[in-house]
Amino acid sequence: MIEWLLVPIAYLIGSVQWGLYVVMLTKRVDIRTVGSGKTGTTNVLRTSGKVAAVTVLLADAAKGFGAVALARALSDDPILHALVGTGVIAGHIWPVLAGFKGGRGIATGLGTISALGPWAPVVGLGMFVPVVVATRYVSLGSVLGVSSVIVLFGVRTLFFDLHLAYFLFTLGAGGLIIVMHRDNIRRLIAGTERRLGRRGVQ
């Protein structure tokens, strides 16, 4: 039963806000007070540049991957894996270590699904990258990438041997990430969303 302590531990791991720390070290600025106010890769890119953004992307993905990979190494229970994945994403979005002001969960979510199977990030990034390249809308690529992963897990649960807990994880956590993009979605619909490479809220 001690392995269930991984769920609150995963939340604490998720609460480590690399975007906050990297921008504070490089620019002496609290990233939560600029741009979108989020601590994720896109806001870091717009406030601190490409090197800082890539650093934060990899670090945020690593904490998601590490938490779920550890859970899988210590237990064969898919329900525990799903709860650990949910915990680390929730920690990133609502970090107790950073005043409950975090990111939207994309990079951390990418890390969690990477720990569940190499096919998952391929599908997610396979949707995200072309959409962003074609439209320059990171938010649109993020929402469609998350949606494609949810569909993938649903198909694998229905027609293959994927455990239902994994689909419920992507449905719940993925749905949460999409909800965290609600302002972006409203701006996309209104035609006022900022494109990548332009200043403005993302």
Predicted confidence (pLDDT) per residue in 131-153, tens digit:
999 999 999 999 999 999 999 99
pLDDT of res. 89 = 98
- Return the percentage of the chain with pLDDT > 90, whole number: 88
What is the enclosing helix (H) or strand (E) of 177? helix 164-179
Q: Is residue 175 part of a domain?
A: yes
Predicted confidence (pLDDT) per residue in 21-76, tens digit:
999 999 999 999 998 899 999 999 988 899 999 999 999 999 999 999 999 999 99
**pLDDT of 154 strictly over 60:** yes
Contact present, 109 and 88 (Cβ < 8 Å) = no
Contact present, 31 and 39 (Cβ < 8 Å) = yes
Count CB atoms within 10 A of the CB of residue 186: 11
pLDDT of res. 202 = 42
What residue type is 119 in one-letter code?
W
Q: Is residue 66 part of a domain?
A: yes
Tokens read off for 99: 């005043």
pLDDT of res. 198 = 58
Measured between alpha carbons, how far is 169 from 161 in angstroms, rounded to an integer? 16
Measured between alpha carbons, how far is 134 from 185 in angstroms, rounded to an integer? 17
- Residue-number span of the structural domain to which 56 is assigned: 2-190
- End-to-end, the C-alpha distance of the chain in Å comes to 42
**pLDDT of 201 strictly over 50:** no
Across the range 79-87, mean pLDDT stands at: 97
Domain count, the chain: 1
pLDDT of res. 104 = 96
Cβ burial, residue 66 (10 Å; 0-12/13-18/19+): middle
Contact present, 63 and 16 (Cβ < 8 Å) = yes
What is the enclosing helix (H) or strand (E) of 88? helix 78-93
pLDDT of res. 196 = 83
What is the enclosing helix (H) or strand (E) of 200? none
Count CB atoms within 10 A of the CB of residue 100: 10
Q: Is residue 202 part of a domain?
A: no
Contact present, 77 and 28 (Cβ < 8 Å) = no
DSSP classification of residue 202: -
Q: Is residue 198 part of a domain?
A: no
**pLDDT of 116 strictly over 50:** yes
pLDDT band at 200 (very low <50, low <70, confident <90, very high): very low
Measured between alpha carbons, how far is 187 from 16 in angstroms, rounded to an integer? 29
Nearest to 96 by CA among 5, 12, 6, 180: 12
Q: Is residue 201 part of a domain?
A: no
**pLDDT of 9 strictly over 60:** yes
Computed over every residue of the chain, the mean pLDDT equals 94
Q: Is residue 87 part of a domain?
A: yes
Q: Is residue 196 part of a domain?
A: no
What's the pTM value of the predicted model, to 2 decimals?
Answer: 0.93
pLDDT of res. 109 = 97
Q: Is residue 195 part of a domain?
A: no
pLDDT band at 193 (very low <50, low <70, confident <90, very high): very high
